[in-house]
């Protein structure tokens, strides 16, 4: 849904449902939308504690306030390889002992809400986000404490960056890559004439569009 004040909202209307919001600008017969959030990379807080152990040990705290931790699982990624899934546990604290040296690490975090699991004939559907890549300076015997603050709303947020919508007469056409690049038509009805007039009046200089 687009509004005359150059804002928009988006809802996928399906399971798993995605949402977005942001601003739009018009250039010739096209509308360009940009979501308010432009990155879903979450921060990684790392603390290296020297300890006299045989091997380096990682402790990861997955912090998801006010949500059931059993909905989540995550994959460590290091040395350009996605590691084996780490299953959720009640405390949200995980540990693992890598068998190789690690100079950087990040995480893929997946969420599968129980409401989706309970649907009949439902195949597993996940929301997914990633963390930033964090460089590490550690040696064998160190303990590495990692904290991941997970904003739950990011799982279902959809990013738009200069995404083009075609405006023609009273309709907007959106070629959605998440739906097989099929052009989806959104009709602007008569009670939305203010929006149509607004679109026709807006102008965006060509050097503002990549």
Q: Write the pLDDT tens digit of every residue in 182-203.
A: 778 876 654 445 555 555 555 4
> How many Å apart are CA 145 and CA 190, to the nearest integer?
58
Q: What is the pLDDT, as a whole number, of residue 72?
A: 84
Structure confidence by residue, pLDDT tens digits, 124-156: 567 889 999 999 887 778 889 999 988 888 999
Gyration radius from the chain CA atoms: 22
Say if residue 34's pLDDT is above 80.
Answer: yes
Q: Is the pTM of this model over 0.95?
A: no
Alpha carbon of residue 104 to chain centroid: 21
Residue 32 in contact with residue 20, Cβ under 8 Å? Answer: no
Burial bucket for residue 72 (CB in 10 Å: 0-12, 13-18, 19+): buried
**Inter-CA distances, 210 with 60, 164, 206, Å:** 40, 11, 8
Which one, of 130, 80, 75, 74, lies nearest residue 100 by Cα? 80
Q: What is the pLDDT, as a whole number, of residue 119?
A: 56
Which one, of 151, 197, 204, 208, lies nearest residue 170 by Cα? 197
Which residues on adjacent β-strands are paired with residue 19?
Answer: 11, 157
* Domains along the chain with CATH numbers: 7-37+158-208 (no CATH), 44-156 (2.60.40)
Q: What is the pLDDT, as a whole number, of residue 189?
A: 54
């Amino acid at each position: 849904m687009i509004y005359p004040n150059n804002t928009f909202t988006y809802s996928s209307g399906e399971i798993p449902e995605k949402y977005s919001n942001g601003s739009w600008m018009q250039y010739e017969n096209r509308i360009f939308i940009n979501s308010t959030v432009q990155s879903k990379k979450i921060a990684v807080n790392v603390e290296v504690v020297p300890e006299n152990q045989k091997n380096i040990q990682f402790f990861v705290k997955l912090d998801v306030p006010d949500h059931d931790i059993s909905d989540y699982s995550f994959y460590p990624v290091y040395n350009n390889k996605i590691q084996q899934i780490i299953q959720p546990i009640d405390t949200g604290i995980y540990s693992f002992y890598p068998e190789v040296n690690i100079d950087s690490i990040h995480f893929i975090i997946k969420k599968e809400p129980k409401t989706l699991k309970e649907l009949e004939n439902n195949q597993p559907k996940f929301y997914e986000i990633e963390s930033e890549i964090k460089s590490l300076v550690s040696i064998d015997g160190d303990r590495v404490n990692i904290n991941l603050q997970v904003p739950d709303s990011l799982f279902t947020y959809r990013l738009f960056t200069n995404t083009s919508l075609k405006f023609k007469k009273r309709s907007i056409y959106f070629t959605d890559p998440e739906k097989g690049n099929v052009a989806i038509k959104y009709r602007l009805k008569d009670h939305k004439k203010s929006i149509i007039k607004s679109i026709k009046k807006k102008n965006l200089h060509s050097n503002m569009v990549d």
